[in-house]
A and B are shown apart, each in its own frame.
Chain A
Amino acid sequence: MLIPLAETGNRTLTISLFSAVVAVTLYITWWASRQNKTTADYYAGGRNFSGAQNGLAVAGDYMSAASFLGISGSIALYGYDGFLYSIGFLVAWLVALLLVAELLRNSGRFTMADQLAFRMKQKPVRTAAATSTIVVSIFYLLAQMVGAGSLVGLLLGVKSEGVKAGVIILVGALMIVYVTIGGMKGTTWVQIVKAVLLMTGTVLITFLVLLKFDFNISKLLGAAAANSGKGEAFLQPGLLYGKDLVGQIDFLSLGLALVLGTAGLPHILIRFYTVPDSRSARRSVQWAIGLIGAFYLMTLALGFGAAALINTAKGSPVAESKGNIASPTLAEAVGGGAGSVGGSILLALIAAVAFATILAVVAGLTLTSASSFAHDLYANVIAKTKPSEKSELRVARFAAIGIGAVAIALAIPAQKLNIAFLVALAFAVAASANLPSLLFNLFWKRFNTSGAVWSIYGGLISAVGLVVFSPVVSGKPTSMITGADFAWFPLSNPGIVSIPLGFLFGVLGTYLGKDRSSEDRYKELTVRALTGAGAETASKH
C-alpha cells in the first residue's frame, strides 16, 4: 500500500493549509513588488536586510525538502549513516564563513560572476560563470520539483502520473509568479516565513518525540535499534556507505563534495548581496549555522523517532517512499495516531511546511538563474550596448519565465531520477566548477581570465562527465539506463577527482593563458574585499 495518508480523511485540512501557504506567500510577493524599482531592488532586495533576517533566509534556502524529508527519512531507514549528509552540509558553512561570504559581499554586486569580472575580461568569464550558475541551479531545481511531484502526491494520497505532473506545473507556475513579481525582496521574505514555519514544525515534533522517551536519548536510540530489526548495527556506520573499498572511496568523495559545495552554490552566494555590509554578511552566516545546525540535530530525533515509533520495515509505506514520508508519518503518530484529531492536524501541518519549503527553495533557484542570465549574459555579453536598468529588468523577468518553463519541462520526464543524487551532483558541480575560481580570484594574484574560464568549464565538464560514465547512469540494475554498460568510472560521486581537477585546470589555464592584465586590479580587489572600500551600499527608500 503506497498511499496510507489518504485514509486519514484529512485531505480537506491538508488542502486548506496548502492554500493558506500559497495565499500568504502570494500576498508577500505582491507587497514586495511595490518596492521593486531598481536593479539593486530586484536582484539584491535593496541590500536592506539585517544579518538575522538574511540568516533566516539563507537557512530557508538551504534547508530544502530534500534535507527536511530526505535526511530524516534516510535516518529512519539506515540509522546512523543517514545522519552523515547533514554533517558535511553543516561543516561546509565554515568555508563560506571564513573564506567567501564577506569578501564576496564586498567585491561583487548581484551575481557570482561579478566578483570574477572585477578584474578579468567581462565576456568570457561572465559566460562561463553564468553557464555553471544555470547548470547547478537547474540540477538543484529538478531535484526539488521532482520531489514536489511525488511528495504532494503521497501527502494527498494520489498516485496518478497526471496529478504529479499537475503538481509540478502548479509549483512551477507559483515560482515564476514569486520571482517575476516579487524579485529578491519577495523571495527573501518567502524564505524567512518558510524558515520560521519549518523550525517551528520541527521543534514541535522533536519535542513530542523526546517526550515519549522521557528526554532520554539512549532510550530513543535503543528503541530505534530494536524496532528497526537491525539491532546495534542501526546505530553504527556501514548500513548505507563504505561496504567495500570502492564504496569507502565513494563515501570520501561524497564527503568532499558536501563540505566544499556549499560555498560554491550560486543561490547561496547571491544571498550575501542582500545585506548592507560585510559585517551583516558575517552575521547572516552565523545565524544560518545556528539555525541549520539546530535543525539537523532535530532531524536526528525525527529520524530515530520514526525508526522507533513507526513501521519502516521492507515493504512498509515509509520504506516504499524511500523514507520521504517518514517525518509526516511520524508527526501523525506522535499526534495521537492515524484517525485521531491530533494526528490529522499534525500530519497536515507538516505536509504544509514541506510544501512551503519546496515553493521557497525553487523560487530562490529560479531567481538565481534569471539574475545570472539577465545580468551576466544579456547585459554584458549579448547586448551590443549597455542596456538600461529597465530593459535589463524586463529581460530578468522573461528569463525567470523561461527558466521556470524549462524546469517544468525537464522535471516531468525526470520523475524517476533519485532526488538525493541530483542534490549531490549539484554540490559536486558547485565544488568543482565554482569554488576553485572564487578562491583563486580572491587569494591568487596571478590568476587570470583563461585560468577562470578553464577552471569553470574544466570543473563542470569533469563533474558531469564522470557521472555520465559512472554506475549511476549505466551498468547496474539501479542505473538510469538499464541494459547498457559504459560505466568505466567506478564511483557514484565525482568530487574526489573533479574538485582537484577544477583547481588544476585553474592553474594550467592561468599559466598557459600568459595574460597578466588581471594583476593590475588585484590590489583594488583585495582592498575592496577586505575593507569594504567602494563596495555596493544599501539603497535608500
Chain B
Amino acid sequence: MRERDARAYEAVHDAADFTELKRRYKNFVVPWTIAFMAWYLAYVACNNWARGFMNTQVIGHINVALIFGLLQFVSTFAIAAIYGRFANRKLDPLAAGLNAKYKRERRR
C-alpha cells in the first residue's frame, strides 16, 4: 500500500504539469508576498519616522495617515481577490488533473 502510494506520488512529481504548477504558484506568491510586506512595513515605518507627511490634512479632518491606513485595507482586499481569481483559473485545473493522475497511478 505504502509502496504504491510512494510510486504514485513519484509519478505525479515527475509530470510536466506538476513542474508547471509549482512554477505558477511560486511566481505568484513570491513577488506578491514581498510586495504586501514591503507596503505594510512602509506604513509602519511612516508612522514612526515620517510624521510630518502622515499629518498632512487632505480633506477636512482626514489626513494622510488615515488614508494610508485605509489603503492597507484596500490592498488586502484586492490581493485576496486577485489571488483567488488566479488560483481558480491557473492553479485549480492543473491540480485537479494531477490529482486524477495520482488516483489512476494508485490503481495500477
* Chain A interface main SS type: helix
B102 pairs with A527, CB closer than 8 A: yes
Whole-angstrom distance from the CB of A431 to the nearest CB of chain B? 13
Q: Given A97-B83, A221-B60 in contact, is the A527-B65 Cβ separation under 8 Å?
A: no
Of A225, A232, A527, which one neighbours B12 at CB under 8 angstroms? A527
- With A and B bound together, what is the CA distance between A252 and B29 in angstroms? 24
Count A-B contacts at CB 8 Å: 155
B73 pairs with A237, CB closer than 8 A: no
Of A83, A88, A255, A526, which one neighbours B13 at CB under 8 angstroms? A526
Chain A interface, number of residues (Cβ within 8 angstroms): 53
B22 pairs with A530, CB closer than 8 A: yes
- The residues of B that contact A225 with a CB separation of less than 8 Å are 61
Q: Given A236-B63, A282-B87 in contact, is the A98-B77 Cβ separation under 8 Å?
A: no
Most A CB within 10 A of own CB, among B21, B65, B103: B65
Of A83, A218, A241, A528, which one neighbours B69 at CB under 8 angstroms? A83
Of B12, B29, B76, which one neighbours A531 at CB under 8 angstroms? B12
- The residues of B that contact A88 with a CB separation of less than 8 Å are 40, 44
A527 pairs with B98, CB closer than 8 A: yes
Whole-angstrom distance from the CB of B17 to the nearest CB of chain A? 9
- The residues of A that contact B25 with a CB separation of less than 8 Å are 530
- The residues of A that contact B16 with a CB separation of less than 8 Å are none
Q: Is A91 an interface residue (CB 8 A)?
A: yes
Q: Is A235 an interface residue (CB 8 A)?
A: yes
Q: Is A289 an interface residue (CB 8 A)?
A: yes
- The residues of A that contact B65 with a CB separation of less than 8 Å are 80, 235-237
Q: Which B residues contact A (CB, under 8 angstroms)?
A: 5-6, 8-10, 12-13, 18, 21-22, 25, 28-29, 32-33, 36-37, 40-41, 43-45, 47-49, 51, 54-55, 57, 59-63, 65-66, 69-70, 72-73, 76-77, 79-81, 83-84, 87-88, 92, 94-95, 98-99, 102-103
Known: A93-B80, A259-B37, A279-B88. 14 other contacts (CB 8 A): A236-B54, A237-B54, A237-B55, A248-B48, A285-B80, A286-B84, A290-B80, A527-B13, A531-B18, A531-B94, A532-B95, A532-B99, A533-B99, A534-B102
| 19 residue pairs A–B, Cβ–Cβ below 8 Å | A84-B69, A90-B72, A94-B32, A97-B80, A99-B33, A217-B62, A235-B61, A235-B63, A236-B51, A259-B40, A282-B83, A282-B87, A289-B76, A297-B73, A524-B6, A527-B13, A531-B99, A532-B99, A533-B12
